[in-house]
Chains A and B, each alone.
Chain A
Amino acid sequence: MKKNGLLVGIILLVGLIFIGRLFYLQILDNPYKTSPLNNASIKSVYDYPARGYIYDRNGELIVANEQSYDVMVIPREIKPMDTLEFCSLLKIDKEYFKGRYKKAKIYSPRLPSVFLGQLSKEDYAPLQEKLFKFKGFYIQKRPIRKYPLKTAANVVGYLNEVDERAIAKDDYYQQGELFGYTGVEKKYELLLRGTKGVKRIQKNRFNKEIGSYKNGLYDTLSAPGNDLTLSLDIILQQYGEKLMTNKRGGIVALEPTTGEILALVTAPSYDPNIMVGRKRRKNSVLLLGDSINKPMFDRGLKAQYAPGSPFKIITGLIGLQEGVIDENTIFTCNHGYRYSRSRKMGCHAHASQVKLNFGIYTSCNSYFANTYRRIIEKFDTAHEGMETWSKHAKSFGLGNFLGYDLPVGNRGLIPNANFYDQWYTAKNWTATTTLSNAIGQGEVITTPIQLANMTATVANRGYYYTPHIVKKIKGASLDPKFTTKHVTTIDKKHFEPMVQGLFDVFENPGGTAFRSRVKGIEICGKTGTAQNSTKINGATVKLTDHSIFIAFAPKDNPKIAIAVFVENGYWGSRWAAPIATLMIEKYLNREISRKALEVKMFNGSLQDEYDRQLNDPEYHAESR
């Protein structure tokens, strides 16, 4: 028996290992344990809750719900049937039927999937009567979105069918369900969606339903989503959208004291109601595929432009803070600023001997070029000067994501010393190399919301709250980061002369927006005209300048800060300034005193300009 001990021993050992492994798998807790619900003999019937409503700051309903009906299918339960009748009831053709059936079968022959989503009430009614004839199909009710005011599509966003990535990330979702895909719907998805309820139904092995699984132990009730109140003033929003008709660009209006977004307009936009139900698929292709007008591109949040002259405010404030200028510092301007023998930054015709106040309301390039140069050259190296300048500018929320509660955005750019070190590898750059930054051209780029936030900061004399779109959440509190004050690196006292300069932009007859002033409202603002260019067939072509305007009002205790960008709008006071002042008037007075201007803005179109960019091969911008 001695030599057979080996086999006996190994048999016993292997048996012991097997039993040990089974003990681990079946009794101990291990990663192979699957949920008892994950199985084909339990049918889950979902009860979809109403998604949270969305209101504006005055309680106007922006987003509501409507009942819709999904046709569900369990492929292997289908019995022979009159396919033709079924197709005509659903208003689909036979090919489409085959395609959907195949897709459902590939997904799973045993599990239900959406055969045809979001039938309207009208389509559902005739189907309901005859559904009993079509085994394997059933109806699942599901609320869908409705937008009674047809506005703010870019803000509220739309719902889309969950994709595989979303399902992999969050097992709450199942194929065919909807989730917030853009805008507020996406950002506040978890609050808005609520919790779907589920009933587990046990089936026997003949696939017959034999009652509730484990007496409803795993069943849950649905809970409706939380309602949201946005900070948006829907009247202002709609007014802005109307003003921007036939123009491209964006408007961002903020309440300076809170950082609440009052209006977020992008143009062109679309009616959110077309991105609902069965027409969504077709329309999303049209909207997302429009690479010329880009209606899905939120220009207010994502478009990056050179800020142009409004950036002179920052240059001036940094100059005051660093002590390189004061209110009475005088620079000369002789149609521009000559900073080397052959190089000159141009300026328009105005009186020379420029002080800060005059520099602002006439928008003198020389004044701020001089200031910028002094800032950079205050320090031993340009490197150090640039870092200081960059730090100050960034304290206004520029050059990085602001952290607002909408899912898209862009950083913009405030260059720092490293940026130029990498660009000029010899590191021999100086203040004059980067001089364009002084007047918001060159490397500086901003998004409209950044510029609006900068304006709010100036209006507040040195601080801002992170812009945000949601004012109140029913049953939950606001993210504390929206109630945290961000203070700039500029002392409060330096803001007063700057605000006075911005006020004179309207009030002084030589101010660049003198003609846009509004009776009874003390507005402070700054025009901007930003050069821009594009590449056409490899050659850089100068395009018509963008029209830019920033403003806040009233001068003391400001209630609104606004930034307006109109693409290729020639110059600041031509489109952006009237639009901005009309918005301010609408928000503060609800009544427009300048009817003629309003009509001119409503009807004004830049479409010819945009068409020319596309069609005119010899396109050159008018140089202004």
Chain B
Amino acid sequence: MQREKNNIFAGVDLWLVSMYILLVFIGWLNIYAASTSELHYEVFDFNARYGKQIIWIALAVPVVMVILFIETRFYERFSSLFYLAAILSLIGLFIFGKNINGARSWYDIANFTIQPTEFAKAFTSLAVAKLLSDKAFTFKPFKNHIKAFFIILLPAFLITLQPDPGSAIVYLAFLFVFYREGLSVFYFILGILGVILFLLTLKFGTYNSIPIMILVTAGFYVLFMIYTAMYKPLFLKRNWMNTTIILVITCSYILSINPLFENVFQQRHRDRFNIVLGHSTDIQKTGYNTDQSIKTIASGGFIGKGFLEGDRTQGKFVPEQDTDYIFSTVGEEWGFLGSTIVIILFIVFMLRIIQVSERQKTTFSRVYGYSIAAIFFFHFMVNIGMVIGILPTIGIPLPFFSYGGSSLWGFTLLLFIFIRLDANRSYEW
């Protein structure tokens, strides 16, 4: 039986590819709208950002070709090597990196900056897929938990040090993958609980909420203990240790939130949280971007003002509008109709990835597919959530929309490795 196909385009999922092309195209239109000016308005003006984006898009084509050309097993075999290369490139940033906007996240090669963070996501996904597809791997023994978490937390940690905490948060996406592959829901609940407790403590103030939350947690603990003692004594016998540990961890976490917030976070991060939690609304300074972005979207109305007719976009009201705040352009020029279509397009795109990964025959492909679905989702949620003002300001790009070569190629890499893996499924057994 043939193990690899001959035609590199054979078996490629046309749904995903066409959605990719559509998203990149819509993205470019909006970059054009956001970065055009009276000095730069010709489409092929390569001094303007939209012109450069055309180059990045054009250069993505050979990247896609190469990805589709390489054998499936190559990705699987060399995934550890890719991962190692990603880690090394992240470490290398501390020595050779270029500082842009206060973060040492770029390599500067011949006037050409490249951000390894964007590629690390794909390689980490490969490594996770590799680990989880090992036939001997299950989430039963605790040391496997450590292995799995080590793989995702190492790059996240390195990225945090750049510092680029926004991009590091994306690695939380792998929790979905681990859960899908059998990790106890316990971690998941712990994560969600952590975030909820964090926000609650900040929202309601340290002194009011901490004793109450500790009491409530302890109350739950006691109730749980009584319940299991009465109805499931066996379960209690086996799990009393774990449950108590959770209690201790939760309580010390609650106590550590405020010192953590005050000491580890920088003032700009604290300001962003405070704005979303409604503690401060300083639209002159910290809240300016978000405020402008929301007003710009709100001014779009139902059908929008039309392509290149958005006066707030053309007037450059929103800072960073062609990168992180690109969605505000959609909101203004295409209105509720256009932005809803974009959101639905993204949702369909992500659901399609999940659907395709579920039909994979190898664990490797499935895990990889699931990983990228989760990563796309995180970018989608955090970015648009920020732009429409319901999440704190965390600067990560919107896949295929935000201006930038590294991010476009990073997401292309992420997606097309999966398309390549999927294209080969009929040859797997």
Asked whether, in the complex, the Cβ of B343 is within 8 Å of the Cβ of A25, the reply is: no
Asked whether, in the complex, the Cβ of B180 is within 8 Å of the Cβ of A7, the reply is: yes
Asked whether, in the complex, the Cβ of B331 is within 8 Å of the Cβ of A26, the reply is: yes
Residue of B nearest to A32 (CB): B298
**Given that A8-B354, A41-B311 are known contacts, is A25 also in contact with B347, CB under 8 Å in the complex?**
no
Contacts of A39 in B (CB 8 A): 311-312, 315
Contacts of B308 in A (CB 8 A): 205
Contacts of B269 in A (CB 8 A): none
Asked whether, in the complex, the Cβ of B298 is within 8 Å of the Cβ of A19, the reply is: no
Give per-residue flags for B376-402: 1 if the beta carbon is below 8 A from chain A beta carbons, else 0: 010011001100111000000000000
Asked whether, in the complex, the Cβ of A40 is within 8 Å of the Cβ of B315, the reply is: yes
Interface: B336 (CB within 8 A): yes
Interface: B220 (CB within 8 A): no
Q: Range of interface residues on chain B?
A: 35 or more
Q: How far is the CB of B295 from chain A (nearest CB, A)?
A: 5
**Given that A18-B385, A40-B311 are known contacts, is A4 also in contact with B299, CB under 8 Å in the complex?**
no
Asked whether, in the complex, the Cβ of A4 is within 8 Å of the Cβ of B315, the reply is: no
Contacts of A36 in B (CB 8 A): 299
Whole-angstrom distance between the alpha carbons of A110 and B315 in the complex? 9
Pick out which of these stretches binds chain B: A9-17, A373-381, A606-614. A9-17
Interface: B176 (CB within 8 A): yes
Residue of B nearest to A30 (CB): B298
Interface: A220 (CB within 8 A): no
Chain B contact surface mostly = helix
Interface: B46 (CB within 8 A): no
Q: How far is the CB of A521 from chain B (nearest CB, A)?
A: 65
Asked whether, in the complex, the Cβ of A21 is within 8 Å of the Cβ of B381, the reply is: no
Which residues 163-187 in B have Cβ within 8 Å of A in the complex? 176, 179-180
**Given that A41-B311, A205-B36 are known contacts, is A33 also in contact with B176, CB under 8 Å in the complex?**
no
Give per-residue flags for B264-302: 1 if the beta carbon is below 8 A from chain A beta carbons, else 0: 000000000000000000000000000000110111111
Interface: B344 (CB within 8 A): yes
Q: How far is the CB of A243 from chain B (nearest CB, A)?
A: 54
Asked whether, in the complex, the Cβ of B354 is within 8 Å of the Cβ of A26, the reply is: no
Asked whether, in the complex, the Cβ of B358 is within 8 Å of the Cβ of A25, the reply is: no
Interface: B340 (CB within 8 A): yes
Whole-angstrom distance between the alpha carbons of A12 and B351 in the complex? 9
Asked whether, in the complex, the Cβ of B351 is within 8 Å of the Cβ of A11, the reply is: yes
Of A4, A22, A30, A41, chain B has the most CB atoms within 10 Å of the CB of A22
Asked whether, in the complex, the Cβ of A19 is within 8 Å of the Cβ of B176, the reply is: no
Whole-angstrom distance between the alpha carbons of A34 and B315 in the complex? 14
Give per-residue flags for B335-363: 1 if the beta carbon is below 8 A from chain A beta carbons, else 0: 11001100110110011001000100000
Contacts of A14 in B (CB 8 A): 377, 380-381, 385
Whole-angstrom distance between the alpha carbons of A178 and B305 in the complex? 36
Q: How far is the CB of A175 from chain B (nearest CB, A)?
A: 17
Interface: B38 (CB within 8 A): yes
Asked whether, in the complex, the Cβ of B297 is within 8 Å of the Cβ of A25, the reply is: yes
Whole-angstrom distance between the alpha carbons of A1 and B374 in the complex? 16
Asked whether, in the complex, the Cβ of B315 is within 8 Å of the Cβ of A27, the reply is: no
Whole-angstrom distance between the alpha carbons of A12 and B311 in the complex? 32
Interface: A401 (CB within 8 A): no
Interface: B119 (CB within 8 A): no
Asked whether, in the complex, the Cβ of B302 is within 8 Å of the Cβ of A26, the reply is: yes
Q: Assuming A22-B297, A23-B336, what are 10 further A-B pairs, CB within 8 angstroms?
A: A7-B374, A14-B385, A26-B335, A26-B336, A30-B298, A32-B295, A34-B295, A39-B311, A40-B314, A205-B314
Nearest 5 pairs between A and B by C-beta? Answer: A40-B315, A32-B298, A26-B336, A39-B311, A25-B298
14 A-B pairs with CB atoms under 8 Å apart are: A3-B179, A3-B180, A6-B176, A7-B180, A7-B377, A8-B354, A14-B377, A22-B297, A30-B298, A32-B298, A33-B295, A34-B299, A205-B41, A207-B38
